[in-house]
Chains A and B, each alone.
Chain A
Amino acid sequence: MNVSAGPVSTATNTPIIQIRGLALSFEQGGQRTDVLRNLDLDVGRGEFVAIVGSSGVGKSTLLRVLMGLAKPTSGQVTFGNDPKAERQLAFVFQDARLLPWRRVLANVAFGLEKTAADPLERKQRAQKALNLVGLGDMANRWPHQLSGGQRQRVALARALAVEPAILLMDEPFSALDVTTRENLQDELVRIWSATGKTILFVTHDIDEAVYLADRVVALGGKPGEVKSTRLIDRPRPRLRGSLALAELAQAIKADLTAQLTKGDDWVI
């Protein structure tokens, strides 16, 4: 079992995200806190990669670095070019973070106001994205009139509307009830297969990670580093709670709890 925790290479094509030697620390009151260290990660084009780990391990920080919302202390991030994509990245937050003063359609069109000049085009594309997440008839609602699951769908539509090459998702379903969460997970896989986006999905729920992703990267320790990378080589549609997935989840849990000897370098 510990063999499969070793280096795995999945990049069948040139990676769209290439992270090398990434480290991040911040100083507070003269005290240095390391959040991430020595992080290498390649994400292939169209790949669905999940990052798991307990809270405070730097999963969200990693996404924020990719987004340019936080600056790494060292290391570098390289993005592959995607001439088709209007924006390189789009972000889905843990809480939907819709703008309460905009109706649903205007919320979905938010990012387009940066990239598409024509208001009519924005409206049409926002409606298309809204249809994609199954809320086509909610365009005129206010955010407070939606359920938690619907709000998160709108947030997903807002991210998809700008036609990003990469979708960064930060525990997007963790605040939802089980049924809604499972619905949205299936919906996400459907949208992913239909659009061919690259998805980097952060979660603390290992079962969710193995159900969704092509590959699961386990972050652990303080500062956070890669403990293991595992291919989830199971055909889709996957069966929730199947033995194969449960075994994989178990193995990842073991990876996270195992003490790694110092000096171990995981190359992914």
Chain B
Amino acid sequence: MRSAVTLLSVAVVVLVQAVVVNRLPFGALSDGGPGPDLAVAAVVALALTTGPATAAGWGFGVGLALDVLPPADHAIGRYALVLCLAGYLVSLIHRNTGAPGGIGARTSRWFALGAVLLAALGVGVAYAALGVLMGDPRAGLSDIAVAVGLGAGLTVLAAPLVTLPLLWLRESLSDHEFATVQGPMSPGGW
């Protein structure tokens, strides 16, 4: 149930990114500038609610889907690699630093948004670095700075529409069976 709902909502997010967000006129801000990246927002929500390996898998899948969908402006696998690492690291750090709330407990909303910001910045830098490694001539330093900063800002603005609902969905459909079991009735009254 939980994974089916997650799969469906992630598919919707990826399609919305490819079909709706990519045709919005963000280019008006600065010629052909970046838009928000809903994929990062979704992967962070998943990474905050699963273990590192599963999060890496989700990141890989989401990234690959966006690689494959038009427009074909970069090599397939570039985004999958970056998002896979992002999912893994977010989940690993979340698990190991005892960030607010343990397993099964609710993640703080502000904490989630902070994670989205860091992840968006990291993904932006890693994607650009991969471009430099592969000899993509579009990656100039000032371009990267603008694209990463602006893109991360827009992603955080879009995150309340993606990350928070996904978090809520996954937490309320928790796999822990006792999460929905009511505590014992209070014996008061008699």
A complexed with B: no
Interface residues of B (CB under 8 A from A): none
